[in-house]
Amino acid sequence: MNSCSQGAVNATWYSKEFAIKTECLDGCDGPATSSVRCVNKICATFQFGKYAAHCSRGQNIQPPYPLELTKFSCDRNTDCLMHCAHGAVNRSWNNTNGNKDACEDGCVGEGTYPRCEKHICTAYRDDKPYAECTKVME
């Protein structure tokens, strides 16, 4: 769950530790904040489609962040796009990190498109999963 004061936390722990909800402005549970998900033992939350480290709790939350939290993460299909060299990636990650150089015979082509599945941008080609362009670690 997201809490304003504590960020992304385990719901059972939060209900025991913070039984009384306190007022908190501009915290981690506003309208721009998406649902919490657990990745590599991190309770992670996202704001405006980007990983929000200040609202996340757990192990290893210092940079560099796992690529599942940045490059490949999604909540909906529109969070993803196809990149020629990197395959299915998070749109916000691409705007900051995506290589703008053109490439030939890559993951972008007729019949390829991304879908958000289990919070990971996943490539499809001709309506079938396209593993070669999913979670490309280049």
Per-residue tokens: 69? 């939290």
pTM exceeds 0.85: no
Kindly report the average pLDDT of the chain as a whole number: 76
Weakest mean pLDDT among 15-29, 47-61, 86-100, 113-127: 15-29
Cα separation, 32 vs 44, whole angstroms: 14
Per-residue tokens: 36? 């919490």
pLDDT, tens digit, 9 for 90 and up, residues 78-123 = 989 999 888 999 888 888 776 666 666 688 888 999 999 988 899 9
Burial of 48-59, coded b for 16+ CB within 10 Å and e otherwise, reads: ebbbbbebbbee
